[in-house]
């Protein structure tokens, strides 16, 4: 056959062949979402889907710093109480209407209704760090938020995943009676179908107003490169792994550490991971008769081989970190790297100096979180090696959580979920135990420093405060951070551009599927 006749035959065959629609990018979820309304009746999976559809004025970047998204600039007044947002020009909603300051004000009023059910109402109505006293629009592209007092967490709270990123909505998102219909936002994908218990389907928004540049968390370039994203409900981990290997799903967005070595051996699959803002640590009740002794707490801190422990429970993926500030935080620096040195001889010396006489200490753990439980087993062995008698108590997660909230324990290993600002990381540990028994650190100076860090807006000043907090924390030893968690994802080889990141949420933009 001549080259000409071969080309003609191939052309005819191509024309005769059926047109195959591109398969969706399929990302597995272990459970269905609860709602499509940002920050309302939400859960972690709902929080993962929403940012694909709606966007806020600001958002978290790859390094967990706050950057503009629908705003092109943010100006903060000298007194820290007025925030002026200049909106990007010509940003389209999914229904073709263009974003203006009127949409921002309508959305804010929608969220702040007393019956809205929005998760973050209490952060802005006076019950939180500061009250939003007014939201005004001097012109179509400018919005001004006025607070009653400075609040260094204001922008970070607007960007929070559980707040739905305070996503700006078009009025058509609600029905004529004001009840919720579906999200009409400005994101790279629009909601196509929610088949409850099976999948959530999003389709590419061809007119998406991309910021450009490089991918940067929830900001930066967010091009929709596939026609459809489908979040598929696969409740069982083993079923999800089988589906991934078979090619029935493309991405497992939250892979367990134990599955990493297995899937790394599979030629059709890739595994990637990134540090996140969660924390696993050893909690100590400083009001306990034994653990109120600082020398004994110091002995415990020096008895743990942190590098070995972190490697053992995370399949060698995570680094040890003794700081309350996570490794992925922009406030993790030289001071935060200074942790407790593993020194069994020093630990034994401190045990002797503490007056400890071999009393049994209870260490609580739960198998609900395998890595946390495995950490407890190793901590028990390390403490017993320096002469501290430890009894491991295994309990249901609900029981352990009750004991944690009541402060009724001696020691426990505990997994904290991610906080995306260093002040919030410290706040989850620091406070008056008489008012909040779950708090670990009731040093008045520390409480004051956390309050200052929550109000401060200058990065350098906040860094100074976090450095000072770290030094006090190392000296007091109220608890022992061990390591930060990881966002681990597994995906098929034909998926390009999928990357885990600090917020531990899947991102389908900038992702291609061959």
Q: pLDDT per residue over 79-97, tens digit each?
A: 999 999 999 999 999 999 9
| C-alpha–C-alpha distance, residues 131 and 158, integer Å | 13
Beta strand extents in 357-448 (DSSP E only): 361-365, 390-394, 411-416
Q: Which helix (H) or strand (E) holds 255?
A: none
pLDDT the model gives residue 18:
40
Burial class (CB in 10 A: 0-12, 13-18, 19+), 493: exposed
pLDDT the model gives residue 458:
87
Count of Cβ atoms closer than 10 Å to residue 86 Cβ: 17
In the numeric block, the tokens 């909603």 are attached to 93
- The CATH number for 42's domain is 3.40.190.10
Of residues 454 and 389, the one with the higher pLDDT is 389
pLDDT the model gives residue 43:
87
Would the pLDDT of 313 be above 60?
Answer: yes
- For 459-472, write each residue's pLDDT tens digit: 899 999 999 999 99
Q: Do the domain assignments include residue 263?
A: no
pLDDT the model gives residue 476:
98
Same domain, 119 and 151: yes
Same domain, 201 and 314: no
pLDDT the model gives residue 64:
84
Supply the mean pLDDT for the chain. 93
- For 242-276, write each residue's pLDDT tens digit: 999 999 999 999 898 889 999 999 999 999 999 89
* Helical ranges in 68-178 per DSSP H: 101-112, 121-124, 154-159
**4 CB contacts (<8 Å, ≥6 apart)?**
none
pLDDT the model gives residue 15:
34
Same domain, 330 and 386: yes
> With bands split at pLDDT 50, 70 and 90, how would you rate the model's confidence at 204?
very high
Same domain, 507 and 462: no
Own/partner pairs, 170-177, CB within 8 angstroms, 24+ separation: 170/93, 170/94, 170/95, 170/97, 170/103, 171/103, 171/106, 172/95, 172/97, 174/110
Q: Average pLDDT in the 330-354 region? A: 97
**64 CB contacts (<8 Å, ≥6 apart)?**
217, 277, 328, 329, 330, 420, 421, 502, 503
Q: Return the closest-CA partner of residue 241 out of 228, 252, 229, 254.
A: 252
Q: Do the domain assignments include residue 264?
A: no
Q: Do the domain assignments include residue 166?
A: yes
Same domain, 483 and 507: no
The proportion of the chain whose per-residue pLDDT surpasses 90, expressed as a percent, equals 86
pLDDT the model gives residue 128:
83
Would the pLDDT of 3 be above 50?
Answer: no
pLDDT the model gives residue 288:
97
DSSP β-ladder status, 486-492 and 269-275? antiparallel
Domain encompassing residue 460: 275-487
Would the pLDDT of 9 be above 90?
Answer: no
Same domain, 436 and 457: yes
Residue 40 DSSP code: B
Would the pLDDT of 2 be above 80?
Answer: no
Q: Do the domain assignments include residue 259?
A: no
DSSP β-ladder status, 66-68 and 58-60? antiparallel
Q: Return the closest-CA partner of residue 258 out of 216, 312, 320.
A: 312
Would the pLDDT of 408 be above 90?
Answer: yes
* Residues 161/419/325/362 CA torsion (nearest 10 deg): -150
Same domain, 180 and 320: no
Would the pLDDT of 1 be above 50?
Answer: no
DSSP β-ladder status, 25-29 and 228-233? parallel
Q: Do the domain assignments include residue 61?
A: yes
Same domain, 174 and 303: no
Same domain, 299 and 238: no
- For 151-196, write each residue's pLDDT tens digit: 989 999 999 999 999 999 999 999 999 999 999 999 999 999 999 9
Same domain, 56 and 198: yes
For residue 159 the two structure tokens come to: 């960007």
What are the CA-CA distances from residue 321 to residues 7, 208, 363, 506 (Å)?
A: 62, 40, 21, 25
Beta strand extents in 395-432 (DSSP E only): 411-416
pLDDT the model gives residue 5:
40
Would the pLDDT of 10 be above 90?
Answer: no
Helices (H) and strands (E) in the chain, counts: 15, 22
pLDDT the model gives residue 442:
96
Would the pLDDT of 113 be above 90?
Answer: yes
In the numeric block, the tokens 């290997």 are attached to 245
Q: Average pLDDT in the 404-414 region? A: 96
Would the pLDDT of 372 be above 80?
Answer: yes
Q: Do the domain assignments include residue 2?
A: no
| C-alpha–C-alpha distance, residues 409 and 401, integer Å | 11
Count structural domains, the chain: 2
- The CATH number for 386's domain is 3.10.105.10
Q: Do the domain assignments include residue 258?
A: no
Least confident of 15-24, 181-190, 314-323, 502-511: 15-24
Same domain, 142 and 97: yes
Same domain, 407 and 349: yes
Q: Do the domain assignments include residue 5?
A: no
């Amino acid at each position: 056959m001549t080259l000409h006749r071969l080309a003609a035959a191939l052309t005819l065959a191509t024309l005769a062949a059926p047109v195959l629609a591109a398969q969706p990018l399929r990302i597995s979820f272990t459970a269905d979402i609860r709602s499509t309304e940002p920050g309302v009746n939400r859960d972690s999976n709902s929080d993962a889907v929403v940012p694909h559809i709606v966007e806020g004025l600001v958002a978290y970047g790859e390094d967990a710093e706050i950057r503009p998204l629908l705003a092109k600039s943010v100006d903060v007044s000298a007194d820290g109480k007025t925030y002026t947002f200049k909106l990007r020009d010509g940003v389209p909603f999914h229904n073709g209407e263009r974003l203006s300051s009127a949409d921002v004000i309508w959305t804010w009023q929608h969220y702040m209704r007393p019956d809205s059910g929005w998760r973050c109402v209490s952060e802005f109505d006076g019950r939180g760090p500061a009250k939003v006293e007014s939201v005004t629009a001097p012109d179509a592209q400018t919005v001004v938020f006025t607070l009653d007092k400075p609040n260094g967490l204001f922008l970070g709270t607007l960007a929070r995943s559980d707040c739905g990123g305070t996503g700006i909505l078009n009025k058509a998102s609600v029905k004529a009676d004001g009840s919720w219909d579906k999200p009409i936002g400005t994101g790279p994908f629009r909601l196509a179908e929610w088949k409850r218990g099976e999948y959530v389907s999003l389709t590419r928004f061809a007119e998406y107003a991309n910021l450009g540049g490089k991918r940067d968390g929830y900001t930066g370039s967010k091009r929709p490169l596939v026609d459809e994203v489908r979040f598929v409900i696969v409740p069982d981990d083993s079923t999800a792994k089988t589906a991934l290997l078979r090619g029935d799903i493309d991405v497992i967005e939250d892979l367990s550490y134990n599955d990493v070595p297995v899937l790394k051996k599979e030629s059709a699959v890739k595994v990637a991971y990134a540090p996140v803002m969660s924390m696993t640590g050893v909690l100590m009740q400083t009001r306990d008769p034994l653990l109120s002794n600082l020398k004994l707490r110091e002995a415990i801190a020096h008895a743990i081989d942190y590098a070995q422990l972190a490697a053992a429970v995370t399949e060698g993926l995570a680094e040890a970190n003794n700081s309350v500030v996570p490794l992925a935080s922009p406030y993790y620096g030289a001071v935060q790297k200074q942790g407790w040195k593993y020194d069994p001889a020093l630990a034994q010396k401190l045990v002797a100096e503490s007056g400890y006489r071999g009393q049994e200490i209870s260490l609580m753990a739960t198998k609900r979180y395998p890595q946390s439980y495995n950490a407890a087993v190793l901590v028990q062995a390390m403490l017993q090696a320096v002469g501290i008698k430890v009894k491991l108590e295994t309990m249901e997660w609900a029981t352990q959580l009750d004991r944690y909230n009541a402060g009724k324990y001696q020691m426990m290993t505990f997994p904290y979920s991610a906080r995306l600002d260093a002040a919030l990381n410290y706040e989850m540990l620091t406070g008056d135990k008489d008012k909040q028994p779950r708090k670990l650190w009731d040093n008045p100076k520390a409480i004051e420093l956390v309050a200052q860090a929550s109000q401060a807006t200058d990065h350098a000043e906040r860094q100074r405060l976090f450095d000072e907090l770290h030094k006090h924390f190392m000296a007091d030893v109220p608890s022992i951070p061990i390591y930060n968690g990881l966002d681990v994802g597994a995906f098929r080889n034909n998926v390009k551009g999928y990357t885990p990141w600090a917020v531990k949420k899947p991102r389908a933009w900038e992702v291609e599927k061959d």
